[in-house]
Amino acid sequence: MSTSTIDRLEGERRQARKDASDRAVSKAEGWRRRGPLLPALIFTVIVTQLPFLVTIWYSLRSQNLLRPGEDLFVGLSNYIDIAQDSTFRQTALNSVVITLGCVLVAMVLGIVLALLLDRPFLGRGVARTMLITPFLVMPVATSVLWSIALLNPTYGLFNWVLGVFGIEAVDWTSTYPVTAILMALVWQWTPFMMLLVLAGLQAQAKDVLEAAAVDGAGPWRVFRSITLPHLRRYIELGVLLGVIYVVNTFDQIYLMTAGGPGTASANLPFYIYQRAFLGFDIGQAAAMGVVVVIATIIVASAALRLIFRSFEVKE
């Protein structure tokens, strides 16, 4: 064989060894990278997925805590019951209405407030402090406060104010239960949205804004073409987090209207709670939980892929 072939073979062998060692390195590197993630990941899997598996198991049985000894495997019959339950449909609709309503209104208000707070004025810190407080106070307490001190038809403050203007008293929690809950929820979550948007406003590159001003762009132009696109990422984060938290709202419904009148203001978590702790029908409650998880994941994956795409672009 000629030296060139030997060299070539030698070269290939060296390359192969190098590739192998590279792969070994990248395998090791892969594990080194996964290492820091593992504790959190394993912890989350154990604490959240195991109970979920147990929930699935319960959903296939007909267990009622108050009638011991009747625990049977019933396959999918719980799920069929849910499909035929008109109350479940209504509470699902309520969940959607309450979640979207709260998040949208809170976000719009949050943007307005953040814009107002972005200007310098005397006592700005105090105003901002006052505006974030609703998010800090205990929701258990504020729910009761809203339903008893503010919205009570006889001695609530809202009706007192209406009375001052000569308007007849409104029975808020009976006639407009969803609105009442939305008021309390929007009140609680607006500061959260406001803070996120405020962070976004303050993260704007000042030089870009100055350049636009020098170019003679009016405040509305600047807002529309520079600020709003920049804020998009923060708004999306706010909407995502808002939806995740508000869809699981329990405190307000439980303490303000108890889902009523009838089931007019019950959302899915509350209805499931009633099945589990009032009817003690564990099988039904578990099946509903499973259905809710699947539905949320479907909706969320669509939403998240959208957001991720915009995030990827950012990076």
Partner 1 sequence: MFRPPRSGSVQGTSVRARAAAATAAVALALTGCAGAGAVGGGDGEQIVVAIVSNPQMQDAISLQDEFRAAHPGIDVRFVSLPENEARAKITASVATGGGEFDVVMISNYETPMWAENGWIENLQPYIDGTDGYDAEDFVPSVREALSSDGDMYSVPFYGESSFLAYRTDLFEQAGLEMPANPTWDEVRELAADLHDPAEDFSGICLRGLAGWGEDMATMTTAMNTFGGGWFDADWNATLDSPESREGIETYIDTLRSYGQPGAATSGFGDCLTRFAQGQSAMWYDATSMVSSVEDPSSSTVAGKVGYVPAPVAETESAGWLYSWSLAIPSTSEHKDAAWDFVSWMTDKDYIQLVGEEIGWERVPPGSRLSTYEIPEFAEVSQAYADATLESMNGATQESAMTHDVPYPGIQFVGIPEFQDLGTRVGQQMSAAIAGQVSVDEAIAQSQRYAETVAETYRAQEGQ
Partner 2 sequence: MSDTTRAYRRRTTGGVLTTLTWLLAIGFFFPVLWMAMTAFKQENQAASDPPTWFFTPTLDQFRAVIEGGSATYVGNSVIATGVSTVLVLLLGIPAAYALSIRPVEKVSDVLFFFISTKMLPVVAVIVPIYVVAGQLKVLDNIWTLVVLYTAMNLPIAVWMMRSFFLEVPGEVLEAASVDGAGLMRTLRSVLIPMVAPGIAATALICVIFAWNEFFFALNLTASRAATVPVLIVSTMTSEGLFLARLCAAALLASLPVIIAGWVAQKQLVRGLSMGAIK
> Which residues contribute to the site for partner 1 (CB under 8 A)?
64-68, 152-154, 169, 171, 173-175, 257-264, 274, 277-281
Residue placing its CB nearer to partner 2 in the complex, 142 or 177: 142
Residue placing its CB nearer to partner 2 in the complex, 177 or 243: 243
Picked from partner 2, partner 1, none, the partner binding residue 262 (CB below 5 to 8 A depending on kind) is partner 1
> Using CA atoms, how far apart are residues 204 and 226, in angstroms rounded to an integer?
9
Shortest reach from residue 163's CB to partner 1, in Å? 10
CB 69 within 8 A of CB 299: no
Torsion of the alpha carbons at 140, 144, 150 and 152, rounded to the nearest 10: 160
Residue placing its CB nearer to partner 1 in the complex, 163 or 219: 163
Picked from partner 2, partner 1, none, the partner binding residue 174 (CB below 5 to 8 A depending on kind) is partner 1
Picked from partner 1, partner 2, none, the partner binding residue 278 (CB below 5 to 8 A depending on kind) is partner 1
Shortest reach from residue 32's CB to partner 1, in Å? 24
Please return the burial class of 119, using the count of CB atoms within 10 Å of its CB with bins 0-12, 13-18 and 19+: exposed
Picked from partner 2, partner 1, none, the partner binding residue 171 (CB below 5 to 8 A depending on kind) is partner 1
Contacts of 274 (CB under 8 A, 6+ apart): 259, 266
> Using CA atoms, how far apart are residues 235 and 156, in angstroms rounded to an integer?
35
Picked from partner 1, partner 2, none, the partner binding residue 242 (CB below 5 to 8 A depending on kind) is none
Shortest reach from residue 66's CB to partner 1, in Å? 4
Contacts of 215 (CB under 8 A, 6+ apart): none
Residue 294: DSSP 8-state: H
Shortest reach from residue 21's CB to partner 2, in Å? 20
Shortest reach from residue 149's CB to partner 2, in Å? 6
> Using CA atoms, how far apart are residues 261 and 177, in angstroms rounded to an integer?
8
> Using CA atoms, how far apart are residues 176 and 48, in angstroms rounded to an integer?
36
Residue placing its CB nearer to partner 2 in the complex, 16 or 140: 140
